[in-house]
Amino acid sequence: MNKLTGGCVMYKVLTKIIVFLAALGLLFVGCKGKSDSDKPKDISEITVGFSQIGAESAWRTANSESIVSEAKKRSIDLKFSDAQQKQENQIKAIRSYIAQGVDVIGFSPVVESGWGPVLREAKEAGIPVILTDRAVDEKDTSLWVTFMGSDFVEEGRRAGNWLVENYENVKRADKPMKYIKIVELQGTVGSAPANDRFSGFREVIDKHAEFKIIKTQTGEFTRAKGKEVMEAFLKSEGKNIDVLYAHNDDMALGAIQAIEQFGLKPGVDIIIVSIDAVRGAFEAMVEGKLNCTVECSPLLGPQFFDAVEKLVNGESIPARIVTEEDVFPQEVAEEVLPTRTY
């Protein structure tokens, strides 16, 4: 074999060795593990954008406080916005969170419909969305990771069941049982709690012919509007009203003022059942002015950030997380009031 041939052979062997070593190196780099961008972030590095509905009720204030204080407790960077009950403000806030590239978006939708486009934008941007408190009627459930909050239909059923089971014991003795006339203060028009509490209550009442809903109108979940609408009910129906069913305690508390100003006794002349179980409702029950409140817990902060941490760590979370709740009639109010945290 001449020097040239020998040199060629050597060259080929060396080339093969270099190629082999290079391939080995690439393999090693490839196996080094997740690149930085794939590694789960440390919780203190993540940013969460939350679009809150507004500050319409004591319940909402407690809900916001629960979310903001939990973020602080966990040293999570939270961008929080108040939409003053306007859907367009929530959509703007969510778009700004997308533009800022937050890691997770949370929001409580003021109404059920009209969220498809902005939720698709979040999905295209690869930002997971957590629904809290209220649901949306969007058919594509891949647009959010989980919905956590109460079962509002069940809350409406619980209010109806309490009334059917207790009206006879709480009504004035001189009031006839025949045709018990109910007036209803609905929540925000188009919102999940208003729609569901409306239907859940009727699921029960419609099975009892003696109960009749004679007036129903939105009080927008606020104390002021609840008082105003109750004044109108009293003007047209007066002493004809036996029961008030309010979709939240704030409207019931406003209605109590209207009933007293009209010269009737709330909780006695007009039996009142409402939803939320805020402190004000317990105080009204202790004074004998409200007869029952169905719990709807606003304290979603810990659950929300548990879900955020699981998401960021790549863990799975259930598509639906229901909050456990109770019913509080007037007779337990005094004992329970000191334990209430919202």
Determine, following the binding rule CB under 6 A, whether residue 133 of this chain makes contact with ligand GZL. Answer: yes
Determine, following the binding rule CB under 6 A, whether residue 193 of this chain makes contact with ligand GZL. Answer: yes
Single residue of 205, 253, 296, 321 touching ligand GZL by CB under 6 A: 296
Count Cβ atoms below 10 Å from residue 301 Cβ, excluding itself: 22
If 0-12 CB within 10 Å is exposed, 13-18 middle and 19+ buried, where does residue 38 land?
A: exposed
Determine, following the binding rule CB under 6 A, whether residue 57 of this chain makes contact with ligand GZL. Answer: yes
Single residue of 64, 161, 248, 293 touching ligand GZL by CB under 6 A: 248
Helix (H) or strand (E) holding 211: strand 211-218
Determine, following the binding rule CB under 6 A, whether residue 184 of this chain makes contact with ligand GZL. Answer: no
Place of tokens 């093969």: 16
Count of residues in contact with ligand GZL, rule CB under 6 A: 15
Residue 273 has which token pair?
């059942």
Q: How far is the CB of 60 from ligand GZL (least distance, A)?
A: 5
Determine, following the binding rule CB under 6 A, whether residue 56 of this chain makes contact with ligand GZL. Answer: yes
Determine, following the binding rule CB under 6 A, whether residue 60 of this chain makes contact with ligand GZL. Answer: yes
Between CA 48 and CA 97 the distance in angstroms is 8
* Residue placing its CB nearer to ligand GZL in the complex, 98 or 321: 321
Q: Are 116 and 143 in contact (CB under 8 A)?
A: yes
Q: How far is the CB of 209 from ligand GZL (least distance, A)?
A: 29
Count Cβ atoms below 10 Å from residue 31 Cβ, excluding itself: 7
Determine, following the binding rule CB under 6 A, whether residue 147 of this chain makes contact with ligand GZL. Answer: no
Count Cβ atoms below 10 Å from residue 259 Cβ, excluding itself: 25
Residue 306 has which token pair?
């548990």
Of residues 214 through 243, those in contact with ligand GZL by CB under 6 A are 221
Residues that bind ligand GZL (CB under 6 A): 56-57, 59-60, 133-134, 149-150, 193, 221, 248, 250, 275-276, 296
